[in-house]
Structure 1
Amino acid sequence: MARTILTIAGVVLAIWLVLTIIGALMSMLKLFFFIGFVAVVVYLAVTLISKSSRNR
């Protein structure tokens, strides 16, 4: 009986660990995409400002 309970607890903990790792990876990817998006916006803004000041 104790072996069955420990097996079930082990499976539940393993599933919880996998879901936690997946959640952490998704959160990290969202952060990287957000940082990349901000970098692209800043790059485009700097490029547009430098081209407009060159023409004057």
Structure 2
Amino acid sequence: MGKTILTILGVVLAIWVAMSVIGAVVSMLKVFFFIGFVAVLVVLAVTLISKTSRSR
């Protein structure tokens, strides 16, 4: 009986750890996407500013 309970607890723990890792990876990807989006906006702004200052 004890072996069955420990097996069930082990499976529940493994599922919980897997879900935590998946959540952390998704969170990290969202942060990287946001940083990349801000970087693209900065590059576009600098490009537009340099093109308008060169034409004068």
TM-score by length of 1: 0.98
Number of positions where the alignment pairs a residue of Structure 1 with one of Structure 2: 56
Which whole-Å CA distance do the structure 2 matches of 1:52 and 1:21 have between them? Answer: 47
The answer as to 2:19 corresponding to 1:19 is yes
Consecutive unaligned residues in structure 1, runs of 5 or more: none
1:7-46 correspondence to structure 2 within 5 Å: 7-46=7-46
Consecutive unaligned residues in structure 2, runs of 5 or more: none
Q: Which residue of 2 aligns with 1:4?
A: 4
TM-score by length of 2: 0.98
Residue type of the alignment partner of 1:50: S
Residue type of the alignment partner of 1:22: I
Percent identity over the alignment is 73
Q: Where has structure 1 moved over 3 Å in runs of 4 or more?
A: none
